[in-house]
Structure 1
C-alpha cells in the first residue's frame, strides 16, 4: 500500500462500511423488539430522564411529518452514520501517516467494529464520537476565544442529554483543551474549563438522582405505544448493573480482554510510545506523552466494572484515544520518533497487506463480557447479506 494513496483507499473503505451499516440498520428497523430502536424511543413525555433527547426529537418529528416512529429513527440513524463517516474522513485525511498509523486506523477496535458486531451499531456512543471530532476541529485553530468554549459546552451538554455515558470519557474532551493551552493551567483557563463542563455535571446530577416513577414511565411508553428493551431498564440502579457484571465475570474473560487490548491497541501504543510533545520549542519526552494519555485513558476502565458490554467499552476507549492522537498530529503538538523501532518487515508491500488483512478483518471482540472473540466477522456479515439477497 502506497502511503500517498491512503486517502483514496480509506474513502472506499468508509463507503463500503456505510453500505454495510445501511443494510443492518434496515434489519434492525424490521425487528419488532430491537434494543437499539428502543433506546432511540426514550423520550421526555413522562418527564425528564436520561437518554431522552433523541427520542423526544423523534416524537416531535412524528407529530409533524407523516412517518412512523421507526421510519424517522431509521432515517436519523442513517444520517448520523453518514455525518460520522464524513467527519472521520476529513479528520484523518491529509495528515502525515506511517504504516503504524495506518494499522491503528484499520484496527478492528475502531470504525469497523459496529459492523463486525451489529449489536453495537447505532448505539448512542456514536454521538460521543461525533462530538469529539467536532470539538477537536473547533480547537484546531490558532485562536481560541470564549465562543469556542461556549460551543464546547453546548456540544458536550447535548451529548450528555443523548447518552450519559459520555461522563466516563470526559477526560478525553478535557485533554483537548489542556494540550491546546500548552498545559498552562492558569486560573483563567481553569475557570473557563470549569464553566464549560459545569452544565454537563448539572445534567448528570439530575439524571443520576431523579428517575421516572412507574406512572411516569408508563406515560412515556403510552405516548409512543411501545415499551421494551432499553426503556424498561431506565430505572435500573448502579448496584444492579455492578452485580450483573460480578455474576458473569471470570478469570478467563479478564485474560481474553487483556489480549484483545494488547493486540488491538498495539499499533497505537507503539505510536504513542514513540511520540514526543513539542510546545513552543520546548521538548517533552515521549514518556511524558505516554503518561498523559495513560492518565486520560484510566477513567474509562470504570465502565468495565459497572456494565457488561465490554466490547463496546473497548471500542469507545480505542476510538477516543486514536482521535486524540490524531488531534495532536494535526495541531503539530507531537513528533513521531521512529528511531530504535525495528519494523523493517513493514517495508515489504506484500507482507504489509497480508498483516493488515489479518489484523483488521480476521477477528473482532464480541459485545458482552462472556462472549468469545469473533473470527473473520466481515466475511460472515457479507455472507449474511448475500444469503438474504437470494431469499
Structure 2
C-alpha cells in the first residue's frame, strides 16, 4: 500500500506542478485573450449574455482599484486549483489500482486537458467542471455513508445550486450540465425514498434562468455602447459581440457543422476522443459491478446516457474539444460517485482479452503522447491526435535551453503581455 500511496502523491504533485507553472505564466502574459476579452462583457447598458463576471470585475476595479486582470487571473487560479485538489480526492479511492490511477490522473480528456492545449485554458467551463466534480464527490460521501441525506442536501442547496444559477449568467455552457445534476440527485432521492417533487424548486429555477439567457433580446446598440466604454483596453471587439448577442448566427452554425461534423478528417479525431472519453468508464462500470466493487442501481445507466445528450447534441458546434472534455468528465463523475466495496478484491486478477503489457503501453502512449485539441479546423491547422505531455516538455526544453527564434516558442509572440488596465 505504501508504494500505491507514493504513486498517488507523485501523480498529484506532478499535475499540480504543471498547473502552477501555468498560473505563474498567466501572471506574466494573458494566455487566453479570447476569454479575457469576453470576460469584460457587462451590464453597464442593460442585460447581455455572459455579463455577470465582467460587471463584478469592473465594479472591483472602479471601487477597490483591483485591476481587472488580477480578478480574472485569481478567479481561474482558484477554480483550477480547487478542481485539481477535488479531482485527486475523488480518485484517491483507486489507489490500489495503479493502471487506473495513472489513466485517470493523466488522461488527455480529463483534468490534464487544459494544460495540454492552452486554447482550453482560462475558459469558464472550469465552473461546470467544479460543479460536476463536487456533486460526484458529495454523492460518493452519501453512498459511502460518510454523510447522511440531510448533509448531502445541504451541500447541494448551498453550493451546487446557487453556483449553477449564477454561472449561467457568466457563461451559458453551464445550462448543458443541468441534466447531469438532475439525474444524479434524482437517483439519490430515490435511494433515500424522498419525494421527487422537492426538486421542482431547484431545477425549475435553473431552467427558467437558462430560458431567460437565451431568449431576452439584446439590442445591438447596447452591445456597441458597452464596447465603446471598453475602448482603450485593446480587447477583441469581435469576441465580445459574438458572445454577448442573444441572436444566433446561421452562417456560423453552418460553418461549425461543416468544420466538425461534415469534415472527415476532423470528425475522425472528434469520434476518437468521444469514444476514449466514454468507453473506458463503461468498461470500468461493467468490471467493477461484476466483481461487486460498486453497488450501482440499474436506472443509473440510463441516467448516465441522458446526462450526455445535451453535449452529444451540440458537441459538433463550437470548440469541440471543450465539449468532449466535459463529456469525459461527466463519464468519470458518474462512475466515481460510487464508493469502492469489497476493497480486498484485487483488480490485477481481472481477466482481460488484451494482455496487460499491451494495455500498459496503450495507457502510456495515450497519456503522454496524445492530446485532445480544444477546437478549430484541425485539418486546416494540421493538428492531429499526437502531442500531449511529451510535446510540452520538448517545448520547455527549446524555450529555456535552446535559442530558437520560432514564434511558437516565444511567449512575446504567442501571448499578450499582462499589462492590461
Task: Indicate the SS of the match to 1:328.
Answer: coil
Backbone CA RMSD of aligned residues: 3.5
So what's the TM-score if we normalise by structure 2? 0.78
Distance 1:283 1:253, change over 3 A: closer
- The 3-state SS of whatever aligns with 2:218 is coil
**Structure-1 separation of matches of 2:179 and 2:129:** 14
Q: Which residue of 1 aligns with 2:38?
A: 39
C-alpha distance in 2, partners of 1:193/1:101? 35
Matched, 1:271 2:284: yes
Is 1:327 the counterpart of 2:309? The answer is no
Pairing partner for 1:163 from 149, 160, 171 = 171
Query: What secondary structure sits across from 1:212 in the alignment?
Result: coil
- Which residue pairs with 2:407 in the alignment? none
Cα distance in 2, alignment partners of residues 28 and 52 from structure 1: 24
Residues 88-107 of structure 1: pairs in structure 2 closer than 5 A = 88-95=87-94, 97-99=96-98, 101-102=100-101, 103-107=103-107
Structure 1 counterpart of 2:203: 197
Taking the aligned partners of 2:36 and 2:16, their CA distance within structure 1 comes to 24
Closer, same or farther: CA 207–292 of 1 in aligned 2, 3 Å: closer
Q: CA deviation at 1:117?
A: 0.9
The verdict on how the C-alpha distance between 1:323 and 1:386 changes in structure 2, with shifts beyond 3 A counting, is same
Aligned to 2:392: 381
- Could you tell me which runs of 5 or more consecutive residues in structure 2 were left unpaired when the two chains were aligned: 404-421
Q: Deviations over 1:329-361 (max 9, x none)?
A: 36x699999687416743x6xx77644331101
Structure 1 position 127 matched with structure 2 position 91 = no
**Partners in 2 of 1:18 and 1:95 — Cα distance?**
23
Contact 1:244–1:308 (8 Å) recurs in 2? no
Please say if 1:258 is aligned against 2:271: yes
Query: 1:277·1:289 contact (CA, 8 Å) conserved in 2?
Result: no
Asked if 1 retains the 8 angstrom alpha-carbon contact of 2:105 and 2:112, the reply is no
User: Contact 2:277 / 2:325 at 8 angstroms: preserved in 1?
Assistant: no
Give, in angstroms, the shift of residue 387 of structure 1: 3.8
Deviation, 1:30, is 6.9
1:36: how far off? 1.8
Which stretch has the larger CA shift, 93-102 or 308-317? 93-102
CA distance in 1, matches of 2:377, 2:82: 33
Preserved CA contact (<8 Å) 1:275 1:337: no
Matches within 5 A, 1:175-324: 175-182=183-190, 188-189=195-196, 191-225=197-231, 226=233, 227-228=235-236, 229-233=238-242, 234-235=244-245, 236-237=247-248, 239-248=250-259, 249-276=262-289, 284=297, 289-305=300-316, 307-324=317-334
Distance in 2 (CA, whole Å) between partners of 1:109 and 1:324 is 15
- Paired residues of 1:114 and 1:121 also in contact (CA < 8 A): yes
- Mean CA deviation greater in 21-30 or 106-115: 21-30
The separation in 2 between residues aligned to 1:195 and 1:277, in whole angstroms, is: 37
| Number of equivalent positions | 379
Please tell me whether the aligned partners of residues 168 and 299 of structure 1 are also in contact (alpha carbons under 8 angstroms).
Answer: yes
Give 1:26 deviation, angstroms: 4.1
- 2:377 counterpart SS class: coil
* 2:277–2:331 Cα contact (<8 Å) kept: no
> 1:227-266 CA distances to partner (integer Å, 9 max, x unpaired)?
5243120225163442222332323332332222234544
Determine whether 1:143 maps to 2:148: yes
Matched, 1:368 2:368: no
Contact 1:131 1:159 in 2 (8 A): no
Aligned partner of 1:65 in structure 2 is 64
Q: Who is 2:414 aligned against? A: none
* TM-score where L is the length of structure 1: 0.83
Per-residue displacement from partner, 1:146-198 (whole Å, max 9, x unpaired)?
Answer: 64453242122122222211222222111221222245786x32x22221112
